[in-house]
Amino acid sequence: MNPFGVRFAALPKNVQCNPSSLCAYTSTDEGNATPRYFRCTHQAIPPASGLIGPGMQPFGAVVQPFADPGSYEAPIPVVKSSGASGDDILRCGRCGAYMNPGFVFLEGGTSFRCNLCDCVSAVPTTYIAGSMSTENARPEMKFGSYEVAAPAALQGRKVTGQSMLILIDCSPTAYQSGLTQQVLASVKASLDYLPCQRNYSLAIVTYNHAAVNFYFSSGPDKEPGVVCMGDITTPFAPLPRSKVMLNVAEKRQEIEAILAKVESICSSHASESSKPAVSAYQSCGGAALRSAVEVLKSQGGGKVLWFFMEVPNAGVGTARSRNSTQLWNTDKEAVLLRPDETNTFYTVLAQECVAAGVGVDTFACHVGEADVASIFHVSGATGGEVHYYPSFNSSLYHDH
């Protein structure tokens, strides 16, 4: 029974439909990537080019390389190089495509034809040794989805551990909404669940309308120290990375002391005045993000979690509203969806983050309009995520 009253054309018998993304399913990789990692917008493609042109149907694909496998599905296999150069990882000489079941070996396995660009390339001698007889043992010859561990020659930087910098908005507006308290409580509750704590480092940085505060440990059983960076027009890192980043396993007590100190400072500032001043609605979030990136750029990169209640409107990175109703439903409306060309702060910062291996996750909790196309560009370019909680209030989002 069709509850929608729509008549569907029957597909050919040799066409297998992918399961719906809305239902639970178990898939097996038999040479093609499963729908969990690669899903096309069409179940079937017309075999003749004469049928594709007149139809004018757009074709797309949803690619999720980091999707989690199903409960009963095998994990993604990993291909590792036996040497530092990575010569035994087979790739097309023209387009760079990795080895897959669609490659066709020629001349007794000494060369192959790429199934993407049709280029014929030679097979390295390091790959020929035993490759033809161990087809089932090589995931790249059998599966459509597999991981490739980057060899040492392809690693642009040496990663010694995971580093995360928590950048928290401590303006009066953020504190009154409960955002500051919620972030501090969530960070403290998450310390037990961080992976590989002995190689995990954490830093706490706060900001308001006029300054950025960097917290550091003064030693066990001592009150944490704080350094105020007040230059929001040309921000910098006032402390070295080794001073700001604290190892979670070794300095758990110092991290909790810093979280308590931040809570104490914010609560004292909030109780000084019952009426918020004009500065309560200002934020130097752009300067704070720049100084936080400078800390992580110094060595190894890392991740920034940026929480803001007020859109950056003081110092560098000021984001102006570009929501012009005159451009709606016109050819120029697409300009509103791209970063502001007159404000290159976030575009340049994103490029520096990519070069240094710094990712930015943005947690936007602001009220009203914001130039999200410019601000969120940093997260989009660095592989980060954007979480939007409009008009944040802790009583509504405490479970999130």
Taking the C-alpha atoms of residue 120 and residue 105, their distance in angstroms, rounded to an integer, is 9
Size of the chain, expressed as the number of residues it contains: 400
Q: Could you tell me the two tokens for 357? A: 């291996």
Residues 287 and 375 in one domain: yes
Task: Determine how β-strand 302-308 pairs with β-strand 358-364.
Answer: parallel
Residues 149 and 166 in one domain: no
SS3 213: strand
Does the pLDDT value for residue 323 go beyond 80? no
In a domain, residue 126? The reply is: yes
Residue with tokens 């303006």: 171
Residues 150 and 166 in one domain: no
Segment among 23-32, 52-61, 348-357, 373-382 with least mean pLDDT: 52-61
In a domain, residue 56? The reply is: no
SS3 54: helix
Which of these three, 126, 154, 182, is where a domain ends?
Answer: 154
What CATH number does residue 98 fall under?
2.30.30.380
Does the pLDDT value for residue 278 go beyond 60? no
Neighbours of 288 (CB within 10 A): 30
Q: Which of 99, 106, 83, 94 is nearest to 154 (CA)?
A: 83
Residues 229 and 361 in one domain: yes
Residue with tokens 């396993």: 249
pLDDT for 245:
93
What residues make up the domain containing 90?
A: 78-154
Residues 166 and 141 in one domain: no
Q: Which DSSP state fits 40?
A: E
Q: Which of 394, 34, 396 is nearest to 182 (CA)?
A: 394
Q: How many CA atoms lie less than 13 Å away from 117 in the CB half-sphere?
A: 12
Cα dihedral value 215, 217, 223, 225, nearest 10: -40
CA R_g for the chain = 26
Residues 199 and 343 in one domain: yes
Looking at the structure of the chain, the number of domains it has is 2
CB 295 within 8 A of CB 165: yes
Neighbours of 386 (CB within 10 A): 16
Residues 351 and 235 in one domain: yes
pLDDT for 11:
46
In a domain, residue 266? The reply is: yes
203-212 tens-digit pLDDT: 999 998 889 9
Taking the C-alpha atoms of residue 301 and residue 305, their distance in angstroms, rounded to an integer, is 13
Question: Per-residue pLDDT averaged across 90-99, rounded?
Answer: 89
Q: Which DSSP state fits 332?
A: G
Question: Per-residue pLDDT averaged across 157-171, rounded?
Answer: 83
Residues 243 and 172 in one domain: yes
Residues 6+ apart with CB under 8 A from 386: 361, 362, 364, 376, 379, 380
Residues 201 and 290 in one domain: yes
Neighbours of 271 (CB within 10 A): 9
Taking the C-alpha atoms of residue 113 and residue 176, their distance in angstroms, rounded to an integer, is 63
Does the pLDDT value for residue 16 go beyond 90? no
pLDDT for 198:
77
pLDDT for 85:
65
Query: Could you tell me the strand order of the sheet in which 111-113 lies?
Result: 104-106, 111-113, 120-122
Which of these three, 154, 185, 208, is where a domain ends?
Answer: 154
Q: How many CA atoms lie less than 13 Å away from 161 in the CB half-sphere?
A: 17
Which of these three, 110, 135, 154, is where a domain ends?
Answer: 154
Question: Per-residue pLDDT averaged across 127-140, rounded?
Answer: 62
Query: Which stretches does DSSP call E strand in the chain?
Result: 38-40, 61-63, 78-79, 104-106, 111-113, 120-122, 147-148, 162-169, 200-207, 212-216, 225-229, 246-247, 302-308, 358-364, 386-388
pLDDT for 15:
55
Question: Per-residue pLDDT averaged across 205-233, rounded?
Answer: 91
In a domain, residue 260? The reply is: yes
In a domain, residue 16? The reply is: no
**303 — pLDDT class (breaks 50, 70, 90):** very high
In a domain, residue 343? The reply is: yes
In a domain, residue 64? The reply is: no
Q: Could you tell me the two tokens for 380? A: 């989009």
What CATH number does residue 365 fall under?
3.40.50.410
- Report the percentage of the chain scoring pLDDT > 90: 30
Residues 239 and 340 in one domain: yes
In a domain, residue 304? The reply is: yes
**50 — pLDDT class (breaks 50, 70, 90):** confident
pLDDT for 181:
92
Residues 243 and 391 in one domain: yes
Taking the C-alpha atoms of residue 215 and residue 217, their distance in angstroms, rounded to an integer, is 7
Residues 189 and 95 in one domain: no
Helices (H) and strands (E) in the chain, counts: 12, 15
